[in-house]
Amino acid sequence: MESVVRSQSATGPDTPVSNEKTLIYRQSHWTRLTHWLWAISLFFMLLSGLQIFNARPQLYIGKQSGFEFNNTVFAIGAENTANGSRGYTEILGHRFDTTGVLGWSGPAGQETARGFPSWATIPSYYDLGTARVVHFFFAWILVTTLIVWLVASLINGHIRRDLAPRIDDIKRLPQDIIDHAKLKFHHTREYNTLQKMAYGGVLFVLLPLMIITGLAMSPSMNSVLPFLNDLLGGRQTARTIHFSVMVLLVLFFVVHILMIIAAGPINELRSIITGWYRTDPPAHDNKPAKRNS
């Protein structure tokens, strides 16, 4: 279906056509709804997940862990020193002082040993049961909407039309990288190559991997899908992958927000809230406007 297009002159009715900017209906109501549902779900999953992680703030590779094993790849903790209690973060054997943020944090005079600080967890106080309830509730919202979105997008052609990189996209990749490095953005109806790769990586790699590793860590799922742990290299490895995917999603979010600010926050936010997006003059975007499902 062709989208509704509104042409708006930059200066007035006598302005040449090449100076016109057009409002197109870029994001459908379903795209916008799922976008915000995923954003809300991932927010609560992140903060409740950090609370769950605090119950055992170490990551391992393999099927087992403990004092007799030397397979720790990440750890947050606290230790007593000559200068008092200090927090630390250890990555692949390299230790960093993170007092006040990771390992040892809290109001002045009331610091306690904990992995992530109270302001970064849901709930802020230690409550593993509540954190699990919140985490799984929003996890199921994420899984359900992702499955529905995937089926609908396959049926209406959204994935093939808007997200799947084409040969021309691959050819434009070097120029897209240069343009982004220069903060030079082209406002068109189509996603550029880097957007397709980033969105595709999140939707078809990171989120499915997070779901699979989450299932592998669930004791109740071990009897239903006993092969998952072996496939992922063990429950502890699955937990490490799960945490790593979370870090990558946070990095994606940070870059995503920075790109929105750099490309024009009003235009970008209008698109994901109302669906309407202002494109560049026709001289820069000669392709017909189509509706993004």
The architecture that CATH gives domain 5-56+125-278 is Up-down Bundle (1.20)
More confident residue, 93 or 62: 93
Over residues 111-167, the pLDDT tens digits come to: 999 999 999 999 999 999 999 999 999 999 999 999 999 998 898 888 888 899 999
Over residues 207-248, the pLDDT tens digits come to: 999 999 999 988 778 778 888 888 888 889 999 999 999 999
Query: Which pTM value belongs to this model?
Result: 0.83
Question: Which two structure tokens, joined as six digits, stand for 221?
Answer: 């799922």
Q: How many CB atoms lie within 10 A of CB 241?
A: 20
Where do the structural domains in the chain lie, given as residue ranges?
A: 5-56+125-278, 58-115
Over residues 260-287, the pLDDT tens digits come to: 999 999 999 999 999 899 988 765 444 4
Q: What are phi and psi of 200, to 5 degrees?
A: -65, -40
In angstroms, the CA 3 to CA 280 distance is: 17
